[in-house]
Amino acid sequence: MGSTAPPEKKPSVLFVCLGNICRSTMAEGVFRSIVEDPTSSYNDLIGNIDSCGTGAYHAGYDPDSRTLSTLRSNGITSYTHTARQLRDSDFKNFDYIFAMDRSNLSDINQRQNQKKSSGGVNNKTARVMLFGEFSGTDRSEVVQDPWYDDGDEGFKKAYEQCRRFSKNFLAATFPDVPSTTT
Ligand code: 4NP
């Protein structure tokens, strides 16, 4: 018999930014690369993984080319995504919703509260927080929006943050799993 948890027990994770083409896709690509790597100690421990935007400006678009090139230069070559907007069902379908910055967090919280007050969220509702709560220090971090940057420095920084936050989240969620192989 395999030793993996049954699917319904696996935590599901949704990454959210404004446009769903830069930061949340970076986070999803990085996080997937860790948990879907067959040699990773976290392989097969996570349920559904997705990303979306609070806005719909880029719905239907591929990730920003600078996100994809930053992922590629870090060995992540297979990530694809089609941008979509946050929906009410995300609050019941995901265990964790990670915002990239405080504006995203405020927008998500507002949406979740509207849903609660209209009776739309019942027994299961996502834990919404800044992804940067997992900074590894006593201060949470935000992933700054790199969309308006000329080059890719902001994307490189977002990559580094997303990898660090992912590893810290996984270590906190699975304290008995050795993290050395990620
Ligand atoms: P993201 O970046 O929220 O990290 O995907 C942005 C992408 C597009 C826009 C803003 C932020 N925009 O205004 O079009």
* Cα 106 to Cα 160: distance, rounded to the nearest angstrom: 24
Q: How far is the CA of 166 from the centre of ligand 1 (A)?
A: 21
Q: Which of 39, 61, 43 is nearest to 52 (CA)?
A: 61
Structure tokens at 134: 């997992």
What's the pLDDT score for residue 3? 53
Amino acid sitting at position 22? C
What's the pLDDT score for residue 154? 97
Q: How far is the CA of 19 from the centre of ligand 1 (A)?
A: 4
Active-site annotation, residues: 17, 23, 145
What is the chain's pLDDT, residue by residue, as a tens digit (182 residues)? 445 555 458 999 999 999 999 999 999 999 999 999 999 999 999 999 999 999 999 999 999 999 999 999 999 999 999 999 999 999 999 999 999 999 999 999 999 998 777 765 555 689 999 999 999 999 999 999 999 988 899 999 999 999 999 999 999 999 999 875 55
Q: Which atom of ligand 1 is nearest to the CA of 20?
A: 5
> How close are the terminal C-alpha atoms of the chain, in Å?
24
* Residue 53 and residue 86 in contact, taking contact as beta carbons nearer than 8 Å: yes
Helix (H, G, I), strand (E, B) or coil at 85: strand
Q: What's phi and psi for 24, nearest 5 deg?
A: -70, -30
* Cα 160 to Cα 125: distance, rounded to the nearest angstrom: 29
Query: pTM to 2 decimals?
Result: 0.93
